[in-house]
A = this chain, B = another copy of it.
């Protein structure tokens, strides 16, 4: 039996010299261990996703082909599968094939080209790649036969996907006609809610169905708002999982050392999450969400040359969760939490912010806003005396001014320090309906929770308090009080206005979001839908209609904000992140 190495590496798109060095290091390491076959992820040499980069920076293509030659010449005594962007050199075709080179003893003996090109959600393969029209050829090594699939090629099994199968051909079925002993799947597959269980079930069922060994090698890394989890796997001919690599980190393993090694997945991730049905419970996805974001932060900062983060701590849920994620990703010493209370910030909020920072051990500072707000207000008041036309009686000016002043302070602090980024703390529920201030809480160098809804954030907060090594870092009060930006006072109650008063209950909003994103529900379907919220609360048709209308009205207007959201980590089944969902600002949804 051949000794196989799985090289679950992390690359940077376009950085050919560093990617190829990493590949060569792995090959040399494999050679030292007398490995017969080493497998790299899809597009390992070019890095993925590379977008349009090669169009302006053409030298990358030449560099890649030169590096491919060098790697090939380094394969004396070993076979290596290296993913690369293979120029089609045909003006009538797309620029590249998405290919895997089979290198052996200094020569490329075979090339497998991707057949099925995903073009939905975050994928846009047809912009860059020409689909191969022919099945790839299997190759033989010491009497064993191997067939190569490139990622999506393995995702069209008709007995598994049934009517959801997207393509006419099934490359697995075709490849199996050549009777390989083992299928190898080279992938760049990002982590999304519910995806892990589908992948596991699919690969296992293919192995069993065809009685074939199945090796899945996925890249680890973060790019373009996506966290790639790695989690490479081997299944035997009965479909049993016999190896699983690490999740959200690089890994290098050799089959002879495995001894049935199955690394643990994030809690709950191994369980089925029914992505076709909405549940207000997020239990099985919380640890993955946490690790996916922490990994994304780590990677984004490292790959862009940053080490530290500064964020405003309001004593509310969003900024508290962000602080925990940042502390775990960057180390507590690298996080600065700044409390910037205004005159209407409650003592409780100030205390909660401080306690959270103390619990986490991050740097903490309080900068009261009042001294700066007042002169700004005076400046504006004199301006508004002059610019009188169409003045709103009730405007959001002063509310937004507080949020923007806070962001200005954070950017100033980041300017003053080396390798520091300010953080945008907007969550998904609020970004969806535009309840976030431009140049305020939605401004920053990174937006950790822009794809996490508010109800999921509450669940995540409880999960973190229970499951992190340090228990209950987030003060209980933060997980219990109704969310609100504390930007204005309700004259009736004398208290600060909470967000749900201005919008609708988050429980209701998050269920709308789920059905719009996953089922394409419009107004009528939502009105006819029985919400979880309605099970425990009385809700008049009038109010339900108002809330649903408000959702469509506000989310239509929020598209502009989605376009200028800072980089984030996509974690949900679907998101408003522009890497995935592309709605022109000028468009109508109703």
Contact = CB atoms under 8 A, between A and B. Distances in A.
B224 A56 contact: no
A304 B408 contact: no
Interface string A48-90: 0111110111111000000000000000000000000000000
Interface stretch (A161-169, A261-269, A474-482, A541-549): A161-169
A34 interface: no
Given A56-B520, A165-B91, A583-B52, A415 B387 contact: no
A53 B589 contact: yes
Contact of A404 (B55, B400, B408, B585): B408
A303 to B, nearest CB: 5
Interface string A12-24: 1111001000000
Interface string A112-132: 000000011000101100000
A239 interface: no
A445 interface: yes
A587 interface: yes
Interface size class of A (residues with CB under 8 A): 35 or more
A109 interface: no
A409 B374 CA distance: 13
A365 interface: yes
Given A222-B586, A411-B438, A59 B522 contact: yes
A372 interface: yes
A379 B392 contact: no
Contacts of A379: 367, 371-372, 409
Contacts of A167: 92
A57 B520 contact: yes
A91 B166 contact: yes
Contact of A304 (B49, B411, B565, B586): B586
B372 A51 contact: no
Contacts of A18: 588
A401 B391 contact: no
Contacts of A119: 94, 126-127
Contact of A582 (B47, B51, B396): B51
B371 A372 contact: no
Nearest to A520: B58
A278 interface: no
A389 interface: yes
A443 interface: yes
A390 B382 CA distance: 40
A199 interface: no
